[in-house]
Amino acid sequence: MAVGLQGLPTLHPVPGVRLGTAAAGIRKKDRRDLVVIECAPGTLAAATFTKNRFCAAPVTVAREHLKKNPPRALLVNTGIANAGTGNPGLEDALASCEALAKHLHCQPGEILPFSTGVIGERLPRERLLAGLPACVTNLSEDGWAEAAHGIMTTDSLPKGCSRQIRIGSRSITITGIAKGAGMIRPDMATMLAFVATDAAVTPAALQSCISSAVNVSFNRITVDGDTSTNDACVLLATGAAGNAVIDQTQDEAYWIFLDGLTKVFTDLAQAIVRDAEGATKFITIEVTGGRSEPDCLAVAYTIAHSPLVKTAFFASDPNWGRILAAIGRAPIEYLEIDKVAIHLNDLCVVRHGALDSGYNEAKGLAEMRLAEIRIGVELGTGSFATRIWTSDLSHDYVRINAEYRT
């Protein structure tokens, strides 16, 4: 069961963006597995993609298309990742773009394809193409909720977020959906995120905003430390709000927009961790007092990726020595162990590198039994800090991934 996640909030339509879904039978019958996100002419797009060098065919195609043309539509399928498929996979992705372009009366290079699912299998091209007419027929500005369901794989719940902000006299809408529950450590998880706004933004400001927002949201989550071949985050801006165009020289408007966008990205990123495969705990790891941000991140991710730490949290076992050991093996050059402090929520467990005199097992157990827990680590060697989010490691995570293809 997802930790503190209860389905979709209200998702406000974004003028200039329509979404349609279909059940194409790509991997399973009678489930929504194909989504088209159409955007009005003139819509700008910015994106970040996986750093996995075995990137999927649709990632390769989407990157190339985005370099040359503003998109008219995004095409998303679930069930098959179209990764590790060589040239035939590229041909499948391009054929999908060509087919959708005919339906929308645009150029194939104006279609951005995205896939998620099992790696190493070819797309069932005929079934995918046969599902496109239904997607196009179903296109609607109110299609966000259906699309959120349509991009799910092992997710237990759809994930979406929507905010409305004011810039000057104009109301700006930012709405997005995401999917992901396992193979999550984005480096830009299997993770896809599609966010749209009606704000008018310059291309440079749009790319700056998505890069900044991704860095403190999707690039700060991890479930199992695995970076997918298919990760992508796309930001569309239709300009339909009619605001004065936002650029990086307009301090107030730029920062208001970036703040709203970052909140949407962060909500979506946290929803992925809350719905992590088999998760029973939502864990925030805050590392402060580091000599650099990379040092803080190295410590945080070493803790988050430790199977011993993660299984202790699943068992609600206050085995703080596992956290201590993870800090000690983090790949940083400098660590003064007598300056290290560790907290579970507000409970001090370790002070000056050793067990705090006020700590006892009963207090630790009470904190570990909570569904949402903060691990606080003070390194005491500098002024840098960072925060990431992760989950525990349960029996169900093993079962879900052992049975993934069956």
CATH 3.60.70.12 placement within the chain:
17-274
Which of 99, 94, 98, 134 is CA-nearest to residue 115? Answer: 94
Angstrom distance (rounded) from CA 329 to CA 288: 17
Which of 91, 109, 93 is CA-nearest to residue 101? Answer: 109
pLDDT in tens, 57-69: 999 999 999 999 9
DSSP string, 188-205: ----EEEEEE---B-HHH
Provide the 10 A C-beta neighbour count for residue 228. 27
Report the C-alpha dihedral over residues 221, 227, 231, 235, rounded to 10 degrees. 30
Angstrom distance (rounded) from CA 6 to CA 158: 9
DSSP state of 223: S
Point out the residues that are catalytic. Answer: 190
Centroid of chain to Cα 247: 25
Residue pair 306/394 in contact (Cβ under 8 Å)? The answer is no
The type of residue at 102 is K
Burial class (CB in 10 A: 0-12, 13-18, 19+), 286: middle
Crossing angle of helices 320-329 and 293-304, in 10° steps, is: 140
CATH class of 17-274: alpha beta
Which of 370, 377, 283 is CA-nearest to residue 325? Answer: 377
The type of residue at 332 is I
Beta-bridge partners for 373 = 283
Instruction: Please report, for residues 56, 57, 121, 127, the alpha-carbon distance to residue 124 in angstroms, rounded to integers and kept in the order given.
Output: 16, 14, 9, 6
Predicted pLDDT at 190: 53
- Give me the architecture of the 282-402 domain, per CATH: Roll (3.10)
pLDDT in tens, 60-97: 999 999 999 999 999 999 999 999 999 999 999 999 99
Residues in the chain predicted with pLDDT less than 50, given as ranges, are: 189
Residue pair 123/92 in contact (Cβ under 8 Å)? The answer is yes
CATH 3.10.20.340 placement within the chain:
282-402
The type of residue at 155 is D
Provide the 10 A C-beta neighbour count for residue 288. 17
Angstrom distance (rounded) from CA 62 to CA 13: 24
CA angle at 276 for the pair 164 and 323, rounded to the nearest 5°: 110
* CA-based end-to-end distance of the chain: 21
Predicted pLDDT at 226: 76
